[in-house]
Amino acid sequence: MSPSSYFPPDYTGHPLLDVGLATLTAFAGKNRPTELVKEDLIHMAEYIRENYIVDPLKSFLNVAFPNSGFTNPAFEKQPEKRRKYANIISEAITAPVGEERDPFTGHPATTLPLNPEGDLLPGRAYRQHIPLLTGVDVINFYPYGEAGIPISGINLLAFQALPLGCAKVSGRLLAVHSDDPDLLLYFARTFLKANLQGVTLARVTGDKKLPDTSPYQARTVLIEHLLKAEQELTRYRRDNESPPPTLTGYYFTNSGQGVDLQIFPLPLEVSGFLRTVMHNPTLKNDWEALARRGWQLTRSESEVARYNRLYEDLFNLPESASFFIRVYFLRKPPRLTAKRDKQDPIQTYDTRREVDLVSWRLTQRFLKEVMLMEESRIQAIRALGDALAQYIFERNDRGVFNGFWMARNYTELRAVLIRASTAEVRAGRKPLITLDQFLSIFEQSEGIPNADWRLGRDLVLIRLLEQLYQKGWLQAHAEELPEVPAEEESM
């Protein structure tokens, strides 16, 4: 064995370890793990030694470290063993190291047996030390048929800090990882602050349980804080044109009653879109208006909404882009099904009543950044929307408006456009749409045949409705507009 050496930590790419390192960094008030000094780690180790062995953190840690020395119910009558375990965990950062290497960083592993009895292999970590590993006697997935993995003192401490840097959501942990170190630290720092405040509150009220970080579902929590992070981080970022960050939520429990892990990756196209939106005041206002109508419907004023449907559906993009556009940008509800949540807000959407929420500029940005649509197609859609709006406004042609809006199939849609274009030609003007524009909007996308004519129709409608609303035509004919039938939901 050789004496312990200090290796400045840095992010590794392992999501749970990185969140733990970010938590150590936030606890020390630093900006990067590489700025941590040994005294910072000792400070965290002292906090763990004193606070992990008592409630509310002792009960909270069951979700992360079941049957560890912190949570083992057998130690309720043997508090000296619980304290001994806390001492072992906190002393690992200064203990001697051996020949084995920590697979996360390649640094030497500690030589301490990580249990009060001292009968575990020195420096080996198991499920009670690192969430989602297997138990002490399970050799599956380990090399050489030896259970557990060697762990350095710093990484062991980071894993112990991990729960404090996670959101507690419905009894589980939500760890948020990003390749953007500022964003990674923001989430860890935000959740750490909430958890430390929760500890203080629980002790004041005598509660043995740590309160949830948020009343919302995990994906809603992630998006809610991402939007706040983008507003805060933009204040000191030098370059807001940097590539969009990766962002992944790991929603897990390591409980002995059932281990489970759900992974919520946010597509890069979506994180880039949200960054653009939050940095543009006009787009931000349009987006926030949609978000306010995305919250779960509540049965009473005292009931708290559990999710924001708009936020939740961001994780289904870009595959469900057509559905997303139709529901959120066009405000058209899907057809009700027996399985639908009766408190789902999108059931109440109505294009006629919410036309003021229809925004072409927000839709256009979505087309560019999420759907990666070619600029020529976007401009063709816009041009047709403008031409139709001008035609309907000047001629007060409710038949063309209703026909385009209510078209049940491709044939009906095409007939409406042919009728309006023919009328324009007879009046000595150019047709509303050319063949190339028609093909670009309704029959092909980026040169690939497109069977979803409804997407083209919905996008033209968004521009058409916005223009007619600005001209006052929609308001003047509000009572005459037909109700659009809901369409099957496609996710």
Tell me the mean pLDDT in the region 272-286.
Answer: 95
The reported pLDDT for the residue numbered 443 is: 81
Query: Among the three residues 165, 186, 219, which one is the final residue of a domain in this structure?
Result: 165
Give residue 484's pLDDT.
64
- Mean pLDDT value of segment 446-471: 84
- Tell me: pLDDT of 5 over 90: no
Q: Is residue 281 within a helix (H) or strand (E), and if so which, with residue range?
A: helix 281-292
CA–CA separation, 384 vs 116, rounded Å?
A: 74
Q: What is the mean pLDDT of the chain?
A: 90
Block residue for tokens 């560019």: 368
Q: Which two tokens stand for residue 330?
A: 């066009």
Residue 490, pLDDT > 80, answer no
Looking at the 3D structure of the chain, how many domains does it have? 2
Does residue 375 register a pLDDT over 90?
yes
In a domain, 264, yes or no: no
State the pLDDT at residue 6.
67
> Tokens representing 219?
């994906």
The predicted pLDDT at position 234 comes to 75
Cβ(264)–Cβ(15) below 8 Å: no
* 3-class SS of residue 349: coil
pLDDT top residue among 1 and 44: 44
**Is the residue at 354 inside a domain?**
no
Task: Find the domain containing 416 and state its range.
Answer: 374-480
Q: Which long-range contacts (CB under 8 A, 24 or more apart) does 339-342 make?
A: 341/296, 342/297
Cα(9)–Cα(43) distance, integer angstroms:
16
- Mean per-residue pLDDT for 365-376? 95
In this predicted structure, the answer to whether residue 30 has a pLDDT above a threshold of 70 is yes
Domain end marker among 165, 190, 225: 165
Specify the pLDDT at position 479. Answer: 76
pLDDT surpasses 80 at 478:
no
The reply to whether 306 falls in a domain is no
In a domain? residue 344: no
- Tell me: the pLDDT tens digits for 90-143? 999 999 999 999 999 999 999 999 999 999 999 999 999 999 998 888 877 777
pLDDT at 486 over 80: no
Between 257 and 458, name the one with better pLDDT: 458
Q: Is the pLDDT score of 328 beyond 60?
A: yes
Q: Where among 101, 130, 165 does a domain terminate?
A: 165
Instruction: Evaluate whether residue 19 is within a structural domain.
Output: yes
Beta bridge partners of 168: 173
403-438 pLDDT, tens digit each: 998 888 889 999 999 999 999 899 888 888 888 888
382 domain-assigned: yes
Q: Average pLDDT, stretch 360-381? A: 95
Q: Taking a C-beta distance cutoff of 8 angstroms, is the pair 229, 235 a contact?
A: no
How many Å is the maximal CA-CA distance in the chain?
A: 95
Question: Is the N-terminal amide bond of 318 cis, ω within 30° of 0?
Answer: yes
Express each pLDDT in 79-89 by its tens digit.
999 999 999 99
With beta carbons less than 8 A apart as the criterion, state whether 52 and 58 touch.
Answer: yes
3-state secondary structure the chain: CECCCCCCCCCCCCHHHHHHHHHHHHHCCCCCHHHCCHHHHHHHHHHHHHHCCCCCHHHHHHHCCCCCCCCCHHHHHCHHHHHHHHHHHHHCCCCCEEEEECCCCCCEEECCCCCCCCCCCCCEECCCCCCCCCCCCCCCCCHHHCCCEECCHHHHHHHHHHHHHCEEECCEEEEEECCCHHHHHHHHHHHHHHHHHHHHHHHHHCCCCCCCCCCCCHHHHHHHHHHHHHHHHCCCCCCCCCCCCCEEEEEEECCCCCCEEEEEEECHHHHHHHHHHHCCHHHHHHHHHHHHCCECCCCCCCCCCCCEHHHHHHHHCCCCHHHHHHHHHCCCCECCCCCCCCCCHHHHCCCCCCHHHCCHHHHHHHHHHCCCCCHHHHHHHHHHHHHHHHHHHHHCCHHHHHHHHHCCCHHHHHHHHHHHHHHHHHCCCCCCCCHHHHHHHHHEECCEECCCHHHHHHHHHHHHHHHHHHHCHHHHCHHHCCCCCCECCCC
Residue 446: per-residue pLDDT: 54
In a domain, 361, yes or no: no
Residue 346 in domain: no
How many other C-beta atoms are found inside a 10 Å radius of the C-beta of residue 239? 5
> Is 67 a residue whose pLDDT tops 60?
yes
pLDDT at 189 over 70: yes
Q: How many CB atoms are located within 10 Å of the residue 21 CB?
A: 30
pLDDT of residue 477: 85
- Mapped onto helix, strand or coil, the DSSP state of residue 259 is coil
Percent of the chain predicted with pLDDT > 70: 93
Q: Where are the beta strands (DSSP E) in 127-199?
A: 149-150, 167-169, 172-177
pLDDT digit string, tens, across residues 331-349: 999 876 657 788 999 999 9
Please tell me the pTM assigned to this model: 0.92
pLDDT at 491: 47
Whether 304 has a pLDDT exceeding 60, the answer reads yes
Whether residue 487 has pLDDT greater than 70: no
Question: Is the pLDDT assigned to residue 364 strictly greater than 60?
Answer: yes
How confident is the model over 225-269, as pLDDT tens digits?
Answer: 999 999 888 766 655 567 889 999 999 999 878 899 999 999 999
Instruction: Give mean pLDDT, residues 51-59.
Output: 94
pLDDT band at 1 (very low <50, low <70, confident <90, very high): very low
Instruction: Say what percent of the chain tops pLDDT 90.
Output: 74
